[in-house]
Amino acid sequence: MISELAIRDDNAKQVCSQLCEQWKRDDLKVFVLRGESKRTQVRDWHESLFPLIGTPAHLAEDVRIGDRDQQRTGGIWMEVRYDSRFPDAYRHSANAQPLHTDGSYIPSFPNASLMTCIANTAEGGETTFIDSLVLLQILRREAPELLDELLSTIVPHARSGDRRDEQIIRQAGDRIWVNWNYYCVAKDTTPAARVLAESFHRLLQNSPGVKAGIRPVKLLPGDAVVWKDAEVLHGRNAFVPTRESDRFIWKCAIDVGIFRG
């Protein structure tokens, strides 16, 4: 599921080409770009690679400019940075973040999310991933009736003026698509869909199969990770900060392998 690639100034073009080729493989979902720890201007350097990777989207949000329905900035990058002023915002807290997809409430969300690491010195704080195919197998084994409901029930998600009405799990041939964020399930969802969302949320928290199927990735300064947002769930392990910005990551949405003028 995970591919790790070492990327430097002298091989960046080759590695980006390799990433785009590997992106076409169904068995690879998460791509870790191990960079140079002493690099300065890490975010700008990874942004300079966009013409070799794909097309970013202007979907950034900022908790400082409004409530959950009014956080869109119009920019590309958003901070995922420990900031004790915002303990209730996952992007800025040290709490474990539940498994989710980034595009749950955005119908036109790109095919990937990308994060680049500025600092990650705190204990813990790994980004966690579980493959949609692994999740399907777990549901078949542990909760087949719940799986039937997930495949057949529309559960709307809404935030920042966007709304997406879709099943939490969809199957298209051999591919399994997921669309899920417990905290973005629309307020006007039906009672039946709300019960389904609560049941799925509990399973993700308590399932031994999910726990065993999660793959952690610890980003170090200079690293980046890009993943197929609709084919994995991702989250974050809790961490123990010692100062502000102990864990500091920039994040964006991007269409990998799609190049627009």
Q: Tell me, what's the pLDDT at 62?
A: 80
Q: How many residues does this entry show for the chain?
A: 261
Residue 219 CA to residue 115 CA, distance in Å, equals 9
pTM over 0.85: yes
Do residue 56 and residue 180 come from a single domain? no
Number of domains in the chain: 2
Do residue 124 and residue 137 come from a single domain? no
Do residue 124 and residue 36 come from a single domain? yes
What are φ and ψ of residue 20, in 5° steps?
A: -65, -35
Q: Tell me, what's the pLDDT at 66?
A: 64
Do residue 142 and residue 229 come from a single domain? no
Q: Is residue 27 part of a domain?
A: yes
DSSP 104: T
* Distance between start and end Cα atoms, the chain: 31
Q: Is residue 76 part of a domain?
A: yes
**The CATH number of the domain where 81 resides is what?**
3.60.130.10
Q: Tell me, what's the pLDDT at 100?
A: 98
Q: Is residue 237 part of a domain?
A: yes
Q: Is residue 261 part of a domain?
A: no
The string of pLDDT tens digits covering residues 121-151 is 999 999 999 999 999 999 999 999 999 999 9
List the chain residues with pLDDT less than 70. Answer: 66-70, 261
The string of pLDDT tens digits covering residues 189-221 is 999 999 999 999 999 999 999 999 999 999 999
Do residue 62 and residue 114 come from a single domain? yes
Of 49, 56, 53, nearest to 23 (Cα)?
Answer: 53
Q: Tell me, what's the pLDDT at 255?
A: 98
Do residue 125 and residue 138 come from a single domain? no
Q: Tell me, what's the pLDDT at 99?
A: 98
User: What residue numbers bound the domain in which 48 lies?
Assistant: 2-129+216-256
Residue 247 CA to residue 221 CA, distance in Å, equals 10
Residue whose pair of structure tokens reads 């900060």 in the numeric block: 241
Do residue 166 and residue 187 come from a single domain? yes
Do residue 66 and residue 163 come from a single domain? no
